[in-house]
Amino acid sequence: MNPTIGIDIGGTKIAGGLVDSDGTILRRGRRETPAQDVDAITSAVADLIAELGEGEQITHAGVACAGYIDKAGSTVLFAPNLAWRDEPLKERLQDMVDLDITIENDANAAAYGEFVHGAGHDVDDMVMITIGTGVGGGVIFDGELFRGSYGIGAEIGHMRVVPNGLRCGCGNRGCLESYASGSALIREARALVTGGSPYAATLSQRCGGKPKRLEGKDVTIAAQEGDPASIELLADLGRWIGEGAASLAAILDPARFVIGGGVAEAGDLLLAPIKDAFGRQLTGRGHRPTATFEIATLANDAGLVGAAALVRQREA
């Protein structure tokens, strides 16, 4: 089968690849995301598709977007970090590139990529939780990507976990994303440095005593180097994810949870507290099979590889 193009549109960059049937990326491309200009975003994607498909017999392209996609896979209903509102992206792109286009939510595409080519390849029921700026999710149910009645299912980050809790970017209070995201990790780390505690000495050194310079990767690196405060911050984050996963297991009963996103680079420093909290909160613990947890293997490529794989699945 000919290679397929996969595109992953994020808030700051558009990543693309020419992907073969084994999930191998044969050619890569990238554009900056003109996030607040609808026409410019579409043009940048079309230009990247043309670049990746040059000299190839391409008939389809898959496009993963950070937003709500209708179940028909044609319209971006809403994107929190991009200027799309009821945007007929599939139609516009098809007119520009003369290819069949498949549109999918980015976390759904990442989940499907891990299911077909990554950490979930050997199970039929899987939940992917992506921990980056926010918390995203994707569900594979009986070997199929779950989308819900309207195409916007599996928004795991917006489960309410604390009644009247912290305000989330979505406008509601107490969402998992407010406690378990990379943004939450940075918020707590900066608060620790701002408080002047000696416990935060290593983190303070990493940002030169200026909390606003502190980033999530600083916490991860410091934790990997043995800093107790950073290890504790990741453990707190892992507890929230583990407890959220236990609630999901009560409803979905997956065989595996796959943990992805930038924060997943912390590896077992995050995974161990996730599994511990999950085990303590799981309904029927000790008397039921328990889901396994794995770190995503496709890393930042999961979205574009998954978008390409979804095209193949729809062609089959």
pLDDT digits (tens, 9 = 90+) for 44-84: 999 999 999 999 989 899 999 988 999 888 999 988 778 88
Q: What is the mean pLDDT of residues 141-152?
A: 93
pLDDT digits (tens, 9 = 90+) for 16-37: 999 999 999 999 999 998 888 9
| Average pLDDT of every residue of the chain | 94
Record the pTM: 0.92
pLDDT digits (tens, 9 = 90+) for 117-130: 999 999 999 999 99
Q: Residue 312: its pLDDT value, please?
A: 87
Q: Residue 249: its pLDDT value, please?
A: 97
pLDDT digits (tens, 9 = 90+) for 95-109: 999 999 999 999 999
The C-alpha R_g of the chain, in whole angstroms, comes to 20
Q: What is the mean pLDDT of residues 256-260?
A: 97
> Which neighbouring-strand residues pair with 19?
4, 25
- Quick one: CATH architecture of 122-296? 2-Layer Sandwich (3.30)
Q: What is the mean pLDDT of residues 193-200?
A: 92
Q: What is the mean pLDDT of residues 182-193?
A: 96
Query: Helix or strand or coil: residue 314?
Result: helix
Taking each continuous run of H as one helix and of E as one strand, the counts in the chain are 10, 13
Q: Residue 316: its pLDDT value, please?
A: 64
Q: Residue 114: its pLDDT value, please?
A: 98
Q: Where are the domains of the chain?
A: 4-112+301-315, 122-296
Domain at 4-112+301-315, CATH homologous superfamily: ATPase, nucleotide binding domain (3.30.420.40)
- Alpha carbon distance, N-terminus to C-terminus of the chain: 11
Q: Examine domains 4-112+301-315 and 122-296 and report if their fold is the same.
A: yes
Residue 256 backbone dihedrals phi, psi, to 5 degrees: -150, 145
CB-based burial, 278-306: b 16+ in 10 Å, e otherwise: beebbeeeeeeeebebbbbbbebbbbbbb
Q: How far is CA 138 from CA 110, 151, 222, in A?
A: 8, 12, 30
